[in-house]
Amino acid sequence: MRTRFERMIKEDSPALAPHDEKKWYANRNTTRDAIELLLNDFEVQRAASLGIMKMLRESDWQREGYQPEYGHFTAEEWLTNWTEHDTVHIRQIESNLEAFHKQAIV
């Protein structure tokens, strides 16, 4: 998400390729993807993203990007979508951790 956001800030109305979640999931490294590493990576990536956002000028939030499935959108609209996207992932993490802890108790 951040690399696309950065392109919107740096380039004039970039065409952004759709993210293929099924392909990403199929190609992920399950031996590397331990929960602790995933949570740490999530935290590091979001901290880097927040650092970029803090440096933006007001006008940067109106820069546009384009994705075939969504059409044209501003950086501000992208951030709203990104926040909703991350909220889904955070709920998944909470649910998975809860299930893990329940199994550990049994």
Cα–Cα distance, 91 to 97 (Å, whole number): 10
pTM for this prediction: 0.76
Tell me 62's DSSP state. Answer: G
Q: Is 101's pLDDT higher than 90?
A: no
pLDDT tens for residues 48-79? 999 999 999 999 999 999 999 889 999 999 99
Over range 85-102, report the average pLDDT: 88
Cα-trace Rg, the chain: 16
Q: What is the DSSP letter of 60?
A: G
Q: What is the mean pLDDT of residues 5-12?
A: 95
How does residue 80 score in pLDDT terms, banded at 50, 70 and 90? very high
pLDDT at 12: 95
Burial of 51 (0-12, 13-18, 19+ CB in 10 A): exposed
Domains and CATH numbers, the chain: 2-81 (1.20.120.450)
Find the range with the poorest average confidence among 20-24, 54-58, 95-99, 101-105.
20-24
Q: What is the pLDDT of residue 74?
A: 97
29, two tokens: 């490294």
